[in-house]
Structure 1
């Protein structure tokens, strides 16, 4: 039977009312009763696709794409590339796995809300390329911190040291023309406690996210949070400097937490409620510490202490743009309408922030503390 005739038969018998959806069980009966030449692997994939639908149906267009072997999603790519048949057992039932495969399975259940996606990610995952972005950023932050700590022999509250604030990496309102500082401040930290908090979250949350969603999405989300943090400080806390990668960290954490909340029923990470509460407590405590250091510094300082607004800006970026980025780990972003809305909103914010930094300081007569 020709493919066009097969599709016509399916639509006439299984979707006569043109609802756009077809029951998979009924479709399987049609295949067996008419001895249709459909690859068994494709039939298995239809059942996998139907698991995401409460009524056990699939979209007719998905069925057409699947039969035509179009490469428009992870499962359709599986059919086109290798005719892979996904196992029907729950992934957690897999036994005899090595350490790395168990870690990959942990990442799948930690990040993805759908069993269908977890299985596909588990079976198609390759260790190369590794999650280099988050590892590189974290390692660079540690090296920079150790270099400045050894040079000044100071490991806590480093921003109170005048030499530390002279670093060309720190954002300072008096050096706004040096545009690289709006990003490079993420390599500097107030002290060991801030570095430890950020590095821990980057490794525990950022690395699994990068393993699933790839370096481009996660690096974009992280850097968008970092840039939004410095620009927000330049608008709302115009006299304050800024250090730390909290803008990027909070973008990752808030995006992941929002994704967990939005897909609460499908998430299978253990103790998810307790972990959510602990994460909120830790993140809130870090913001509270940053507010305290900004307005009630424990030591005398020559100028304003680093702002806390980057934390809040990063969280906003994560909840808005990040939730769109993490919604589907395989779906192309350019196919999502929400992605373009978020990208346009972010671009508008960038344009406004640049305009503000160029003109507002002089127009408002802001008394900027002299740069160190």
Structure 2
């Protein structure tokens, strides 16, 4: 078997030359991205061997911290332009590539996500929330015959969906107010950000994490108002949108840090002749 070929003495470790020879002279049934990462993991090991379990974890799509360090410090560096230069991609794969570069700061994570991404399950949470908000707004717009500043209508403020500090005993209002909006401007702004930021985040991080993040922002908004202003009602999904923007801002900061470190290394090498080693 392949395991016997790589580790004939059953030591639990694989010699670099054994795996490299197998990868170069035999056709391994792996996609190019996984094969390249396997070679990077093996070649980056200073002891001349690599743990067999780490290879198994990679083949099972389980990425350990040691694997991340090996990829970061490996000699087979991944070029930033690889994904951008790929041609012949369909609409979905082009969108996945856009999401990878928009959300993920590390090139290795971008390539991993690009090759592992599947259309199922789709990013349903943000899409469903946005559609429900539009439906509720249209229903109240038709009922009140008013599409701007609906909060000025008494019937609008009597809705069981609006959060009001005086009705804190009705627990659902802490969540349901996100479906109500003042007018087209607020609804359009929130819907645009939910689709432009929320959908890519959901594609990368999954439905569960983004739904919890969004709902936490919604609850935080109603709780904040109930503490700071006991008389003000609350409508709109802005609390959840702010939470999404904060999460995306964290990605932007991480990407900025990587860019700054890259230019620091260029400055140190070109002007000072000093090569800064990668972090441990």
- TM-score class, shorter: 0.7 to 0.9
- In the superposition, relative to structure 1, how do residues 35 and 7 fare at CA in structure 2: closer, same or farther (>3 Å)? farther
1:67 and 2:55 are equivalent in the alignment: yes
Give me the whole-angstrom Cα distance separating, in 2, the residues matched to 1:34 and 1:215.
39
CA RMSD of aligned residues (A): 3.6
Hey, what does 1:214 align to over in structure 2? Answer: 206
Give me the whole-angstrom Cα distance separating, in 2, the residues matched to 1:38 and 1:59.
24
SS state at 1:263 partner: helix
Are the counterparts in 2 of residues 45 and 75 from structure 1 also a CA contact under 8 Å?
no
Give me the whole-angstrom Cα distance separating, in 2, the residues matched to 1:206 and 1:62.
39
Hey, what does 1:264 align to over in structure 2? Answer: 256
SS state at 2:256 partner: coil
Deviation at 1:180, TM superposition (A): 0.3
Are the counterparts in 2 of residues 49 and 58 from structure 1 also a CA contact under 8 Å?
no
Give me the whole-angstrom Cα distance separating, in 2, the residues matched to 1:222 and 1:198.
12
- Match of residue 244, structure 1, among 236, 240, 255: 236
**Residue segments in structure 1 that go unaligned for 5+ positions in a row:** 11-26, 51-55, 77-86, 268-372
The aligned runs of 1:23-102 (5 Å cut-off) are: 27=16, 31-32=19-20, 44-47=36-39, 63-69=51-57, 71=60, 73=62, 90-102=82-94
Query: TM-score, normalised to structure 2's length?
Result: 0.72
1:202 and 2:190 are equivalent in the alignment: no
Count of aligned pairs between the two proteins: 236
Hey, what does 1:334 align to over in structure 2? Answer: none
Deviation at 1:69, TM superposition (A): 3.7
1:232 and 2:220 are equivalent in the alignment: no
Give me the whole-angstrom Cα distance separating, in 2, the residues matched to 1:250 and 1:96.
36
**Residue segments in structure 2 that go unaligned for 5+ positions in a row:** 66-77, 260-280
Hey, what does 1:18 align to over in structure 2? Answer: none
- In the superposition, relative to structure 1, how do residues 58 and 192 fare at CA in structure 2: closer, same or farther (>3 Å)? farther
Give me the whole-angstrom Cα distance separating, in 1, the residues matched to 2:201 and 2:47.
29
Deviations 1:44-88 (A, max 9, x none): 3234569xxxxx669999845323446472599xxxxxxxxxx97
Deviates more, 1:167-176 or 1:41-50: 41-50
Give me the whole-angstrom Cα distance separating, in 1, the residues matched to 2:20 and 2:237.
58
Hey, what does 2:104 align to over in structure 1? Answer: 112
Runs of 4+ in 1 over 3 A off after TM superposition: 1-10, 29-43, 46-50, 56-65, 68-72
Hey, what does 1:142 align to over in structure 2? Answer: 134
Deviations 1:189-208 (A, max 9, x none): 11111111100000110111
- In the superposition, relative to structure 1, how do residues 38 and 248 fare at CA in structure 2: closer, same or farther (>3 Å)? farther
Deviation at 1:263, TM superposition (A): 2.7
1:171 and 2:160 are equivalent in the alignment: no
Are the counterparts in 2 of residues 49 and 116 from structure 1 also a CA contact under 8 Å?
no
Deviation at 1:30, TM superposition (A): 7.0
Are the counterparts in 2 of residues 46 and 58 from structure 1 also a CA contact under 8 Å?
no
Are the counterparts in 2 of residues 46 and 63 from structure 1 also a CA contact under 8 Å?
no
Are the counterparts in 1 of residues 181 and 235 from structure 2 also a CA contact under 8 Å?
yes
Give me the whole-angstrom Cα distance separating, in 2, the residues matched to 1:59 and 1:239.
68
